Chains A and B, each alone.
Chain A
Amino acid sequence: MKKFSCIVFSIVLLSFLSVGDLQAQRMKHGGGMKKAGGGGQFSRGANNRSINGGSRRSSTRPKSQNYSRPKTTKRPSYTSQKRPSSAVKSRPKNSGNQVRAKGGGRVDSKNLRVKGGDKSIKNSGNKVGNKVNVKGGNKNVNVNIDNSRNVRINKNVRVNGGHSNRYYNGHRGYYPYRHHAYRPYHYGSYWHPFGFFVATMAVTAIIVSVNNQQYHYDNGVYYTQSSGGYTVVNPPTNIVVNSLPEGVENITLDGKAYMYFGGAFYVKENGKYRVVDAPDGAVITNIPEGGEEEEIGGEKYVVYNYTYFKPFSQNGKDMYQVVEMEAAE
């Protein structure tokens, strides 16, 4: 009878807990209090100075045991309801999952090389909403954890220990990030994402080269010649161009001036602009189409041009900060 009462009570409780209540005070607090006798009342003999009167627990709890694996029979299928990823359609195969490792070298996280060793880590490629193998004491657990976004969980990298996970707000000191979603920026008709193919090159394009490789450069976009035309590629590090297009962002970081455009960072040298690795901590406002969202350590990042960006809002404005990653051990 006790079990029956419990079941009926649970059904009543669940009926109050509509899915639309995710935002509100999220649990009705009847159960435990009911068992302990008296809704909202503090326990007798408990810590009366405590903010909540002290922790309480029922003596008639349902039995528990150690589980190695949760039941999956009632798990809904999220696959068909997932938000489609429109950002990756025009990305070249070799640009999506690369990260800039500590020290500026480019690392392919699909087969990530750990700094200082030969250990190779395979990217699990887990997607949010799918079965996620959770590391830790219970290694066999497969549970739907975060089914909210089409965000890849990447456990192969972590935030470099030297990176501050806070930004400086002049009015209120250092404050944690306030996340915002990645919204691709459209620079204009001249802008093309990585992997984009054009049959003919604009007359305004110039030829630049680095490491014996020629590129065509036009309005912040780099192309290599391919069969029957030209394909947009990532800005090559150390390549030098004469001019940057309108819309360039000027950044000062640790007393050094940088220019940013379309996912690439530049430094000015002898009146020209050289592509450099993204400086850790740099804050920019626009990331073009082609970025991919990844979740690392429970936080969401946007990966673009081999660089991790942390989206955050400051004074109502959406921004992104470069976050240097390192291989997770």
Chain B
Amino acid sequence: MIKKTISYVVLVVLASFVLVACEAENNEQYDTRAIDSLDSMSDAIGELVAVSYTLDDEFVNAQGDEFYNQHDVYMRGPDKMYIHSVGTKGNRSYWYDGKSLSVYSFDKNTYSTVDAPDNTIKAIDYVNEKYGVDFPAADFFYPNLTDDILDVYDQVLFLGDDQINAIETTSIVASNDTRTLQVWIDKATNLPLKFLFASKSNPDKYYQAVFSNFRVNPDLPDMLFEFNAPSNAEKTELKTIK
């Protein structure tokens, strides 16, 4: 009797998993054209040996508070990055030279320096996970962009052509149960032009960012990525989030 009951429970559990699996499978829709466009964008980014761009972002939280920031981003090779951000989060810069990452607040005249991994992507990951520092549009610069999107979203669909600031773009939308991501890709360069994260549960809540001033493979000098603290600046500890 006990054996029968256990067998029955095991069967029910297994059946539930199978049903969940089937349901998940049924919900997945990945449009080949969308995947190809994302791959092309990922390839275009992966071929960059240096880049600079401006990112204007806008975030509205659940309370309707609005935050705007403008970021000037410079990256060179696998291990150099400099970002200057101005906006509602203040006026600050980040320097990464392959060994350490420094943050300087122009508003407070304070800075922090932490050891960081030896490539930009790992450094972004490390600092984000340990200190909660967000980097503008970092998601787009991961080498596995398309796979990351496929893992997170159930649907990735091709919306077709659209125009952003008179630039011809291809538009992709990805969605799961909680949110959508829409990406506009410059058709001429295959670089991202705009993206929008929107919450499905709270229509007022979203994050969007627009790229501009893209410079492909510019000559960026070493000194751009080296941080020298002002003599009167106060050194502070970057707070960990764990």
Contact = CB atoms under 8 A, between A and B. Distances in A.
Contacts of A41: 122
A138 B160 contact: yes
Contact of B134 (A9, A24, A61, A144): A24
Given A51-B120, A178-B70, A297-B165, A22 B144 contact: no
A135 interface: yes
B203 A147 contact: yes
B139 A14 contact: no
B142 A19 contact: no
B196 A177 contact: no
A14 B177 contact: yes
B165 A143 contact: no
Contacts of B179: 17, 19, 22
B205 A56 contact: no
Interface stretch (A66-74, A92-100, A197-205, A247-255): A66-74
Given A29-B144, A51-B50, A52-B143, A9 B151 contact: yes
Contact of B48 (A51, A71, A159): A51
B16 to A, nearest CB: 12
Interface residues of B, number: 105
B147 A31 contact: yes
A104 B136 CA distance: 40
Given A23-B134, A67-B31, A29 B125 contact: yes
Nearest to B29: A67
A65 B122 CA distance: 33
A179 B68 contact: yes
Interface stretch (B32-40, B104-112, B221-229, B230-238): B32-40
Given A3-B25, A9-B151, A52-B143, A17 B178 contact: yes
Interface in B178-212: 178-182, 184, 194, 196-208, 210, 212
Choose among B54, B67, B128, B198 the residue with the greatest number of A CB atoms under 10 Å from its CB.
B198
A146 B200 CA distance: 10
Contacts of A52: 45-46, 78, 120-121, 141-143
Interface string B103-139: 0000000000000010111101100100010110011
B148 interface: yes
B164 A298 contact: yes
B2 interface: no
A19 B61 CA distance: 10
Chain A interface helix/strand/loop/mixed: loop
Interface string A112-143: 00000000000000000100001111110101
Contacts of A186: none
B135 to A, nearest CB: 7
Contacts, number: 310
A134 B143 contact: no
Nearest to A16: B152
Contacts of B164: 297-299
B20 interface: yes
Contacts of B146: 32, 57
Interface string B156-177: 1111111111100001010111
A4 B160 CA distance: 32
Given A3-B25, A14-B177, A29-B142, A55 B119 contact: no
B9 interface: no
A86 interface: no
A178 to B, nearest CB: 5
Interface stretch (A75-83, A208-216, A280-288): A75-83
Choose among A22, A23, A40, A158 the residue with the greatest number of B CB atoms under 10 Å from its CB.
A22
9 contacts: A22-B205, A32-B150, A51-B141, A61-B30, A76-B201, A139-B160, A141-B157, A176-B210, A299-B165
Interface of B: 17, 20-21, 24-25, 27-35, 39, 42-43, 45-51, 54, 56, 58-62, 66-68, 70, 75-78, 87, 117, 119-122, 124-125, 128, 132, 134-135, 138-139, 141-152, 155-166, 171, 173, 175-182, 184, 194, 196-208, 210, 212-213
* 6 closest cross-chain pairs (CB), A and B: A136-B160, A32-B144, A32-B147, A31-B151, A55-B46, A136-B161
